[in-house]
Amino acid sequence: MIGFDLTDEHRLLEQTVREWAAREVAPHIREHDRQHFFDRERILPGLKALGLLGICVPQEHGGAGMDYVSLGIASEELEYVDTSLRVIMSVHVGLNCLTLLAWGTDDQKKRYLVPQAQGDKLAGYGLTEPGAGSDARAIQTTAVKKGDRYVLNGEKTWISLADVADNFLVIAWTDLQKKQQRDPSGMSAFVVERSFKGFSSGPLKEKWGILAGNTGYFVMDGVEVPEENMVGRPGEGFKIAMFALDQGRFTVAAGATGLIRACRDASVRYAKERQAFGVEIGQHQLVKQMIAQMESDYQASRLLWLRSGWLKNEGRRNTKETGLAKWFSTVASERAAGDAVQIHGANGYSDEYPVGRFFRNCKGAVIYEGTREIHTVMQADYLLGYRSDRPSRCELPRWQPS
Protein backbone atom coordinates (compact mmCIF):
# COMPACT_ATOMS: atom_id res chain seq x y z
CA MET A 1 0.00 0.00 0.00
CA ILE A 2 1.15 3.58 -0.53
CA GLY A 3 0.45 6.51 1.74
CA PHE A 4 -0.52 10.01 0.67
CA ASP A 5 0.70 11.83 3.77
CA LEU A 6 3.57 14.25 3.49
CA THR A 7 6.31 13.72 6.08
CA ASP A 8 6.90 16.28 8.84
CA GLU A 9 9.99 17.43 6.90
CA HIS A 10 7.87 17.97 3.77
CA ARG A 11 5.29 19.96 5.72
CA LEU A 12 7.93 22.14 7.30
CA LEU A 13 9.45 22.81 3.88
CA GLU A 14 6.02 23.64 2.42
CA GLN A 15 5.30 26.08 5.22
CA THR A 16 8.75 27.68 5.09
CA VAL A 17 8.70 28.26 1.32
CA ARG A 18 5.08 29.46 1.47
CA GLU A 19 5.86 31.98 4.20
CA TRP A 20 9.04 33.22 2.50
CA ALA A 21 7.34 33.74 -0.87
CA ALA A 22 4.32 35.43 0.75
CA ARG A 23 6.53 37.76 2.78
CA GLU A 24 9.40 38.52 0.40
CA VAL A 25 7.96 38.23 -3.09
CA ALA A 26 4.16 38.57 -3.09
CA PRO A 27 4.08 42.23 -1.93
CA HIS A 28 6.30 43.33 -4.86
CA ILE A 29 5.39 40.93 -7.63
CA ARG A 30 2.72 43.01 -9.36
CA GLU A 31 5.09 45.96 -9.71
CA HIS A 32 8.06 43.83 -10.78
CA ASP A 33 5.92 42.06 -13.36
CA ARG A 34 4.71 45.38 -14.75
CA GLN A 35 8.26 46.72 -14.88
CA HIS A 36 9.71 43.51 -16.40
CA PHE A 37 12.09 43.47 -13.44
CA PHE A 38 13.90 40.35 -12.21
CA ASP A 39 14.60 41.07 -8.55
CA ARG A 40 17.88 39.20 -8.48
CA GLU A 41 19.19 40.81 -5.28
CA ARG A 42 16.22 39.67 -3.22
CA ILE A 43 15.30 36.37 -4.84
CA LEU A 44 18.60 34.58 -5.33
CA PRO A 45 19.93 35.14 -1.77
CA GLY A 46 16.49 34.13 -0.45
CA LEU A 47 16.42 30.86 -2.39
CA LYS A 48 20.01 30.21 -1.36
CA ALA A 49 19.33 30.84 2.33
CA LEU A 50 16.43 28.38 2.20
CA GLY A 51 18.69 25.76 0.63
CA LEU A 52 16.38 25.53 -2.38
CA LEU A 53 19.09 25.92 -5.02
CA GLY A 54 20.43 22.49 -4.07
CA ILE A 55 17.31 21.11 -2.44
CA CYS A 56 17.53 17.49 -3.59
CA VAL A 57 21.24 17.39 -4.34
CA PRO A 58 22.98 15.09 -1.83
CA GLN A 59 24.82 16.86 0.98
CA GLU A 60 28.17 15.44 -0.17
CA HIS A 61 27.75 17.58 -3.31
CA GLY A 62 26.81 20.75 -1.44
CA GLY A 63 23.02 20.30 -1.48
CA ALA A 64 20.34 20.07 1.20
CA GLY A 65 19.96 16.31 0.68
CA MET A 66 16.15 16.35 0.63
CA ASP A 67 14.15 13.95 -1.54
CA TYR A 68 12.70 14.60 -5.00
CA VAL A 69 9.18 15.13 -3.65
CA SER A 70 10.64 18.12 -1.81
CA LEU A 71 11.67 19.62 -5.13
CA GLY A 72 8.04 19.32 -6.23
CA ILE A 73 6.76 20.89 -3.01
CA ALA A 74 9.10 23.88 -3.41
CA SER A 75 8.13 24.26 -7.08
CA GLU A 76 4.42 24.20 -6.25
CA GLU A 77 4.77 26.77 -3.47
CA LEU A 78 6.97 29.10 -5.53
CA GLU A 79 4.67 29.12 -8.55
CA TYR A 80 1.71 29.76 -6.28
CA VAL A 81 3.21 33.25 -5.94
CA ASP A 82 4.85 33.69 -9.34
CA THR A 83 5.98 31.48 -12.20
CA SER A 84 9.32 33.29 -12.46
CA LEU A 85 10.38 31.81 -9.09
CA ARG A 86 9.60 28.26 -10.14
CA VAL A 87 11.45 28.71 -13.44
CA ILE A 88 14.65 29.14 -11.41
CA MET A 89 14.06 25.75 -9.79
CA SER A 90 13.32 24.19 -13.18
CA VAL A 91 16.43 25.29 -14.99
CA HIS A 92 18.94 25.52 -12.14
CA VAL A 93 17.98 22.44 -10.12
CA GLY A 94 15.92 20.31 -12.54
CA LEU A 95 17.61 20.72 -15.90
CA ASN A 96 21.15 21.48 -14.77
CA CYS A 97 22.13 20.30 -11.25
CA LEU A 98 20.32 16.96 -11.43
CA THR A 99 21.88 16.28 -14.83
CA LEU A 100 25.35 16.91 -13.43
CA LEU A 101 24.48 14.70 -10.47
CA ALA A 102 23.61 11.79 -12.77
CA TRP A 103 26.02 12.33 -15.68
CA GLY A 104 28.83 14.56 -14.37
CA THR A 105 32.37 13.41 -13.57
CA ASP A 106 33.73 13.78 -10.04
CA ASP A 107 35.68 16.80 -11.26
CA GLN A 108 32.55 18.41 -12.83
CA LYS A 109 30.62 17.79 -9.64
CA LYS A 110 33.36 19.47 -7.62
CA ARG A 111 33.81 22.43 -9.96
CA TYR A 112 30.16 23.03 -10.96
CA LEU A 113 27.60 21.02 -8.99
CA VAL A 114 28.89 21.95 -5.52
CA PRO A 115 28.88 25.75 -6.01
CA GLN A 116 25.54 25.55 -7.82
CA ALA A 117 23.91 23.42 -5.11
CA GLN A 118 25.29 25.79 -2.47
CA GLY A 119 23.66 28.67 -4.32
CA ASP A 120 26.94 30.44 -5.11
CA LYS A 121 26.55 29.94 -8.87
CA LEU A 122 23.40 29.91 -10.97
CA ALA A 123 22.91 27.50 -13.89
CA GLY A 124 20.79 27.23 -17.03
CA TYR A 125 20.09 24.93 -19.97
CA GLY A 126 20.70 25.69 -23.64
CA LEU A 127 19.03 23.45 -26.17
CA THR A 128 16.63 25.70 -28.12
CA GLU A 129 17.87 27.77 -31.07
CA PRO A 130 16.24 30.24 -33.45
CA GLY A 131 15.51 27.40 -35.91
CA ALA A 132 15.09 24.49 -33.49
CA GLY A 133 12.61 24.01 -30.64
CA SER A 134 10.50 20.84 -30.65
CA ASP A 135 12.73 19.54 -33.43
CA ALA A 136 15.92 19.42 -31.35
CA ARG A 137 17.80 17.63 -34.14
CA ALA A 138 17.63 20.84 -36.14
CA ILE A 139 20.06 22.67 -33.84
CA GLN A 140 23.01 24.23 -35.64
CA THR A 141 25.49 24.76 -32.80
CA THR A 142 28.73 22.91 -33.40
CA ALA A 143 31.60 21.90 -31.13
CA VAL A 144 34.77 21.11 -33.03
CA LYS A 145 37.70 19.43 -31.29
CA LYS A 146 40.94 21.40 -31.28
CA GLY A 147 43.66 19.81 -29.15
CA ASP A 148 42.35 19.44 -25.61
CA ARG A 149 39.45 21.88 -26.22
CA TYR A 150 36.21 22.09 -28.14
CA VAL A 151 35.41 25.25 -30.06
CA LEU A 152 31.71 26.08 -29.85
CA ASN A 153 29.85 28.25 -32.34
CA GLY A 154 26.12 28.88 -32.33
CA GLU A 155 23.20 30.75 -30.82
CA LYS A 156 20.72 29.59 -28.20
CA THR A 157 17.48 31.46 -27.73
CA TRP A 158 14.47 31.45 -25.42
CA ILE A 159 16.85 30.52 -22.61
CA SER A 160 15.63 31.05 -19.06
CA LEU A 161 18.17 33.02 -16.98
CA ALA A 162 20.29 33.60 -20.13
CA ASP A 163 21.37 36.99 -18.88
CA VAL A 164 21.83 35.92 -15.29
CA ALA A 165 23.17 32.36 -14.98
CA ASP A 166 26.88 31.67 -14.58
CA ASN A 167 26.99 28.21 -16.20
CA PHE A 168 24.96 26.54 -18.95
CA LEU A 169 24.46 22.97 -20.03
CA VAL A 170 24.81 23.36 -23.80
CA ILE A 171 23.94 20.80 -26.48
CA ALA A 172 25.97 20.92 -29.70
CA TRP A 173 26.92 18.72 -32.65
CA THR A 174 30.37 17.16 -32.29
CA ASP A 175 29.98 14.85 -35.31
CA LEU A 176 29.34 17.02 -38.35
CA GLN A 177 28.59 14.09 -40.63
CA LYS A 178 25.86 12.91 -38.26
CA LYS A 179 24.61 16.50 -38.19
CA GLN A 180 24.00 16.26 -41.95
CA GLN A 181 22.08 13.01 -41.40
CA ARG A 182 20.21 14.40 -38.37
CA ASP A 183 21.50 11.44 -36.36
CA PRO A 184 21.30 12.58 -32.71
CA SER A 185 24.14 10.28 -31.70
CA GLY A 186 26.36 13.03 -33.12
CA MET A 187 25.45 15.49 -30.35
CA SER A 188 27.34 16.09 -27.13
CA ALA A 189 26.74 18.11 -23.96
CA PHE A 190 29.05 20.69 -22.39
CA VAL A 191 29.25 22.96 -19.39
CA VAL A 192 29.84 26.46 -20.77
CA GLU A 193 30.67 29.29 -18.41
CA ARG A 194 29.50 32.83 -19.04
CA SER A 195 33.06 33.93 -18.31
CA PHE A 196 34.46 32.00 -21.31
CA LYS A 197 35.81 34.24 -24.08
CA GLY A 198 33.37 34.59 -26.99
CA PHE A 199 30.22 34.16 -24.88
CA SER A 200 27.64 36.97 -24.95
CA SER A 201 23.99 37.18 -23.96
CA GLY A 202 20.98 39.47 -24.04
CA PRO A 203 17.33 39.58 -22.89
CA LEU A 204 14.24 38.91 -25.01
CA LYS A 205 12.47 42.22 -24.76
CA GLU A 206 9.15 41.40 -26.44
CA LYS A 207 8.18 38.55 -24.10
CA TRP A 208 4.66 39.01 -22.67
CA GLY A 209 4.59 36.51 -19.79
CA ILE A 210 6.75 35.55 -16.80
CA LEU A 211 7.76 39.20 -16.88
CA ALA A 212 9.39 39.17 -13.46
CA GLY A 213 11.76 36.50 -14.75
CA ASN A 214 14.76 36.64 -17.05
CA THR A 215 14.60 35.01 -20.49
CA GLY A 216 17.09 35.68 -23.25
CA TYR A 217 19.54 34.40 -25.80
CA PHE A 218 23.25 33.69 -25.83
CA VAL A 219 25.77 33.55 -28.59
CA MET A 220 28.90 31.41 -28.63
CA ASP A 221 31.43 32.86 -31.03
CA GLY A 222 34.43 30.54 -31.07
CA VAL A 223 34.06 29.74 -27.36
CA GLU A 224 36.86 27.39 -26.31
CA VAL A 225 35.61 24.83 -23.82
CA PRO A 226 38.08 22.47 -22.09
CA GLU A 227 37.42 18.83 -22.97
CA GLU A 228 36.95 18.09 -19.25
CA ASN A 229 33.72 20.11 -19.57
CA MET A 230 32.05 17.58 -21.83
CA VAL A 231 29.21 16.02 -19.83
CA GLY A 232 28.88 12.31 -20.56
CA ARG A 233 30.67 10.77 -23.52
CA PRO A 234 30.93 12.10 -27.05
CA GLY A 235 27.60 11.39 -28.75
CA GLU A 236 25.51 11.28 -25.54
CA GLY A 237 24.30 14.89 -25.77
CA PHE A 238 20.80 14.15 -27.04
CA LYS A 239 20.21 11.52 -24.36
CA ILE A 240 21.49 13.95 -21.74
CA ALA A 241 19.20 16.69 -23.05
CA MET A 242 16.21 14.33 -22.77
CA PHE A 243 17.30 13.13 -19.31
CA ALA A 244 17.44 16.75 -18.17
CA LEU A 245 13.88 17.27 -19.42
CA ASP A 246 12.66 14.38 -17.24
CA GLN A 247 13.78 16.43 -14.24
CA GLY A 248 12.74 19.85 -15.54
CA ARG A 249 9.27 18.64 -16.51
CA PHE A 250 8.73 17.39 -12.98
CA THR A 251 9.25 20.90 -11.60
CA VAL A 252 7.04 22.38 -14.34
CA ALA A 253 4.25 19.93 -13.44
CA ALA A 254 4.45 20.73 -9.73
CA GLY A 255 4.66 24.45 -10.50
CA ALA A 256 1.59 24.39 -12.76
CA THR A 257 -0.22 22.65 -9.90
CA GLY A 258 0.63 25.62 -7.69
CA LEU A 259 -0.64 27.99 -10.34
CA ILE A 260 -3.97 26.14 -10.49
CA ARG A 261 -4.23 26.48 -6.70
CA ALA A 262 -3.49 30.19 -6.94
CA CYS A 263 -6.26 30.57 -9.54
CA ARG A 264 -8.64 28.57 -7.37
CA ASP A 265 -7.94 30.58 -4.22
CA ALA A 266 -8.21 33.94 -5.99
CA SER A 267 -11.47 32.84 -7.63
CA VAL A 268 -13.03 31.60 -4.38
CA ARG A 269 -12.11 34.88 -2.70
CA TYR A 270 -13.57 36.99 -5.49
CA ALA A 271 -16.69 34.85 -5.87
CA LYS A 272 -17.57 35.63 -2.27
CA GLU A 273 -16.83 39.36 -2.56
CA ARG A 274 -18.54 40.20 -5.82
CA GLN A 275 -22.30 40.47 -6.06
CA ALA A 276 -24.48 40.08 -9.16
CA PHE A 277 -28.27 39.72 -9.34
CA GLY A 278 -28.47 40.32 -5.58
CA VAL A 279 -26.22 37.44 -4.51
CA GLU A 280 -22.51 36.59 -4.29
CA ILE A 281 -21.45 35.40 -7.73
CA GLY A 282 -20.37 32.13 -6.06
CA GLN A 283 -24.09 31.36 -5.76
CA HIS A 284 -24.41 31.11 -9.54
CA GLN A 285 -24.09 27.56 -10.74
CA LEU A 286 -21.87 28.33 -13.72
CA VAL A 287 -19.36 30.09 -11.45
CA LYS A 288 -19.46 27.08 -9.12
CA GLN A 289 -18.70 24.86 -12.09
CA MET A 290 -15.51 26.78 -12.91
CA ILE A 291 -14.38 26.67 -9.28
CA ALA A 292 -15.14 22.95 -9.00
CA GLN A 293 -13.16 22.30 -12.18
CA MET A 294 -10.17 24.13 -10.64
CA GLU A 295 -10.35 21.92 -7.58
CA SER A 296 -10.55 18.77 -9.67
CA ASP A 297 -7.62 19.90 -11.82
CA TYR A 298 -5.60 20.86 -8.76
CA GLN A 299 -6.09 17.54 -7.01
CA ALA A 300 -5.44 15.45 -10.12
CA SER A 301 -2.32 17.45 -11.02
CA ARG A 302 -0.98 17.09 -7.52
CA LEU A 303 -1.40 13.33 -7.53
CA LEU A 304 0.36 13.09 -10.88
CA TRP A 305 3.47 15.01 -9.84
CA LEU A 306 3.57 13.25 -6.47
CA ARG A 307 3.61 9.91 -8.26
CA SER A 308 6.42 11.11 -10.46
CA GLY A 309 8.40 12.33 -7.42
CA TRP A 310 7.82 9.02 -5.68
CA LEU A 311 9.14 7.12 -8.72
CA LYS A 312 12.23 9.35 -8.69
CA ASN A 313 12.76 8.65 -4.98
CA GLU A 314 12.57 4.94 -5.72
CA GLY A 315 15.11 5.27 -8.53
CA ARG A 316 12.61 4.11 -11.14
CA ARG A 317 12.33 5.38 -14.69
CA ASN A 318 9.55 7.99 -14.93
CA THR A 319 9.77 9.61 -18.37
CA LYS A 320 6.21 8.59 -19.26
CA GLU A 321 4.69 9.48 -15.89
CA THR A 322 6.54 12.79 -15.64
CA GLY A 323 5.54 13.71 -19.19
CA LEU A 324 1.90 12.94 -18.38
CA ALA A 325 2.08 15.04 -15.21
CA LYS A 326 3.62 17.97 -17.11
CA TRP A 327 1.13 17.74 -19.97
CA PHE A 328 -1.96 17.37 -17.80
CA SER A 329 -1.12 20.05 -15.25
CA THR A 330 0.04 22.71 -17.71
CA VAL A 331 -3.04 22.30 -19.90
CA ALA A 332 -5.19 22.35 -16.74
CA SER A 333 -3.41 25.50 -15.54
CA GLU A 334 -4.33 27.24 -18.77
CA ARG A 335 -7.97 26.28 -18.21
CA ALA A 336 -7.81 27.42 -14.57
CA ALA A 337 -6.20 30.76 -15.44
CA GLY A 338 -8.71 31.43 -18.22
CA ASP A 339 -11.59 30.66 -15.87
CA ALA A 340 -10.05 32.72 -13.07
CA VAL A 341 -10.03 35.74 -15.38
CA GLN A 342 -13.63 34.91 -16.38
CA ILE A 343 -14.80 34.76 -12.77
CA HIS A 344 -13.22 38.17 -12.15
CA GLY A 345 -15.10 39.65 -15.12
CA ALA A 346 -13.68 42.97 -16.29
CA ASN A 347 -11.54 43.15 -13.13
CA GLY A 348 -9.81 40.01 -14.32
CA TYR A 349 -8.85 41.88 -17.45
CA SER A 350 -6.80 44.31 -15.40
CA ASP A 351 -3.52 43.99 -13.52
CA GLU A 352 -5.28 45.25 -10.43
CA TYR A 353 -5.95 41.57 -9.69
CA PRO A 354 -3.33 38.79 -10.00
CA VAL A 355 -5.31 36.53 -12.34
CA GLY A 356 -4.27 38.41 -15.50
CA ARG A 357 -0.64 37.67 -14.58
CA PHE A 358 -1.55 34.02 -13.99
CA PHE A 359 -3.18 33.95 -17.43
CA ARG A 360 -0.03 35.30 -19.13
CA ASN A 361 2.33 33.15 -17.09
CA CYS A 362 0.59 29.80 -17.55
CA LYS A 363 0.99 29.74 -21.32
CA GLY A 364 4.79 29.43 -21.30
CA ALA A 365 4.63 26.03 -19.64
CA VAL A 366 2.23 24.75 -22.30
CA ILE A 367 5.06 25.52 -24.75
CA TYR A 368 8.39 24.80 -23.03
CA GLU A 369 9.85 21.46 -21.99
CA GLY A 370 7.77 19.75 -24.68
CA THR A 371 4.76 21.51 -26.15
CA ARG A 372 1.22 20.31 -25.50
CA GLU A 373 1.28 18.65 -28.92
CA ILE A 374 4.62 16.89 -28.41
CA HIS A 375 3.37 15.47 -25.10
CA THR A 376 0.10 14.38 -26.70
CA VAL A 377 2.01 12.49 -29.37
CA MET A 378 4.39 11.00 -26.78
CA GLN A 379 1.59 9.59 -24.66
CA ALA A 380 -0.17 8.12 -27.69
CA ASP A 381 3.11 6.64 -28.93
CA TYR A 382 3.67 4.86 -25.62
CA LEU A 383 0.21 3.30 -25.88
CA LEU A 384 0.57 2.38 -29.51
CA GLY A 385 3.95 0.76 -28.91
CA TYR A 386 5.78 3.28 -31.13
CA ARG A 387 7.82 4.48 -28.19
CA SER A 388 9.41 2.81 -25.18
CA ASP A 389 12.10 3.84 -22.71
CA ARG A 390 15.39 2.02 -22.94
CA PRO A 391 17.72 1.87 -19.94
CA SER A 392 20.13 4.76 -19.87
CA ARG A 393 23.87 4.54 -19.00
CA CYS A 394 23.32 7.04 -16.19
CA GLU A 395 20.15 7.38 -14.14
CA LEU A 396 19.00 9.81 -11.48
CA PRO A 397 20.25 8.27 -8.23
CA ARG A 398 17.61 6.78 -5.97
CA TRP A 399 17.06 9.07 -2.99
CA GLN A 400 19.04 8.06 0.11
CA PRO A 401 18.29 9.84 3.39
CA SER A 402 21.46 11.56 4.65
How far apart are CB 107 and ligand FAD at their closest, in Å?
Answer: 25
- Residues whose CB falls within 8 Å of the CB of residue 242, separated by 6 or more in sequence, listed in order: 319
Judged by the rule CB under 6 A, the positions of this chain that interact with ligand FAD are 91, 124-128, 133-135, 158-160, 210, 215, 364, 367-368, 371, 373-374, 377
Rg value, the chain, Cα? 21
| Alpha carbon 308 to its chain's center | 15
**Which member of 79, 155, 236, 369 is catalytic?**
369
How far apart are CB 124 and ligand FAD at their closest, in Å?
Answer: 6
Nearer to ligand FAD, 141 or 160 (CB): 160
Rounded to the nearest 5 percent, the helix, strand and coil shares of the chain are 55, 15, 30
Helical pair 68-81 and 8-20, crossing angle rounded to 10 deg: 30
Nearer to ligand FAD, 283 or 371 (CB): 371
Nearer to ligand FAD, 131 or 226 (CB): 131
What is the residue-wise DSSP string for 123-178?
EEEE--BTTBSS-GGG---EEEEETTEEEEEEEEEEEETTTT-SEEEEEEES-HHH
Residue nearest ligand FAD by beta-carbon distance: 133
How far apart are CB 162 and ligand FAD at their closest, in Å?
Answer: 7
How far apart are CB 375 and ligand FAD at their closest, in Å?
Answer: 9
Cα separation values, 32 from 45, 48, 49, 216, 247, Å: 17, 20, 22, 17, 28
The one-letter amino acid code at 268 reads: V
How far apart are CB 158 and ligand FAD at their closest, in Å?
Answer: 4
Indicate if 77 belongs to the active site: no
CA distance linking residue 131 with residue 109, whole number of Å: 32
The catalytic residues are: 369
